[in-house]
């Protein structure tokens, strides 16, 4: 079994969650990405969010939300994505980078538009009355 180690930034507004769709992808994803060698959760998350959304997440405000594992979307069976999730305040204006086709606020009813691991995250947020 292969595990893809990723981090995700949970940004909620009016019980909706910030999601992104990369060019060439058919699903929306919670913003974040893969850790580079030697990076901490904090370093990887801050770098990825700045690269994708052109904002700076304040490391002093990071709150661990949870870690979720599921079959990786678009990969062969048995490749698992492990998504470690944090929330945190940010500075700047959300703006899609060159790799991001669209930024969208999704609700629980949009689960058909997201990957398997994100469905688990949506379920957890919904259960905790953080997502409508």
pLDDT tens figures, 47-68 = 999 999 999 999 999 999 999 9
Closest CA to 119 of 78, 80, 68, 84: 68
Chain length of the chain: 132
Closest CA to 21 of 99, 95, 129, 76: 99
What's phi and psi for 36, nearest 5 deg? -90, 160
CB burial readout 13-29, b (16+ within 10 A) else e: eeebbbbbbbeebeebb
Eight-state DSSP code of residue 72: P
pLDDT at 1: 81
Q: Which residues face 9 on adjacent strands?
A: 86
Give yes or no for residue 74 having a pLDDT over 90: no
Distance CA 127, CA 2 (A): 29
Distance CA 83, CA 68 (A): 5
pLDDT tens for 4-33 read 999 999 999 999 999 999 999 999 999 999
């Amino acid at each position: 079994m292969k595990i893809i180690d990723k981090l995700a930034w949970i940004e909620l507004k009016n019980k909706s969650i910030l999601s992104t769709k990369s060019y060439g992808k058919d699903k929306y994803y919670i913003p974040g990405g893969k850790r580079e060698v030697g990076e901490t959760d904090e370093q990887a998350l801050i770098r990825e969010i700045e690269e994708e959304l052109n904002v700076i997440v304040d490391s002093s405000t990071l709150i661990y939300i949870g870690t979720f594992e599921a079959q990786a979307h678009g990969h062969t069976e048995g490749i698992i994505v492990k998504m470690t999730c944090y929330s945190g305040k940010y500075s700047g204006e959300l703006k899609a980078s060159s790799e991001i086709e669209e930024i969208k606020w999704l609700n629980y009813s949009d689960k058909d538009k997201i990957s398997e691991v994100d469905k688990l995250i949506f379920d957890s947020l919904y259960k905790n009355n953080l997502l409508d």
